[in-house]
Each structure stands twice: as structure tokens, then as C-alpha cells.
Amino acid sequence: MALMSANKVQRVYMGHIHGLGTLERDGVKYVLTGGGGSPLFPGPVKTKLHHWLSVETGPAGVTETVHASDGRSFPLH
């Protein structure tokens, strides 16, 4: 995390733990998006749903949208 902050990284996307979550620390937004189909993680991850994430960038910034396997879509906060 210190390396990301020191290099002014804005976002880090990661998987492995099967869930969905975000964390902001020292100016960096960390996005856990690991709900692609395997059994969901039983631990402390708050949002547990099978999903995929779309990310769009443009002059207005970054838009992240969660797409759940049941057809729902909602913005990632």
C-alpha cells in the first residue's frame, strides 16, 4: 500500500478473495472484484454476489459498474 500511495496510483483492482468490496487508504482506491463464478468467500467480505465489473474512463473521470449474475447493475461506491 505504501508503494501505491508513494507512486500516486489512483486505483488498484484485485481478485482472489471471492467477494466485492472497496477500501480507500492514503488516496488510493482498492477494489476487490472476485465474484466471477467460484463459491463466494465465507469471511468478512460484506458484499457476496456473483458479478463482473465494467470500468469506463473519460474526461469526466472513472465510472465503475457492478453487473450481478441475476441481471442487476449498480454503481460501485
- Can you give the pLDDT at residue 41? 72
Name the domain count of the chain: 1
Q: Is the pLDDT of residue 10 over 80?
A: yes
12-42 tens-digit pLDDT:
999 877 888 899 999 999 999 887 777 777 7
pTM value? 0.81
What range defines the domain where residue 45 resides?
Answer: 2-75
Work out whether strand 51-58 and strand 28-33 pair parallel, antiparallel, or are unpaired.
unpaired
Q: What is the mean pLDDT of residues 31-60?
A: 84
Instruction: Give the CA count within 13 Å in the CB-facing half-sphere of 8.
Output: 0
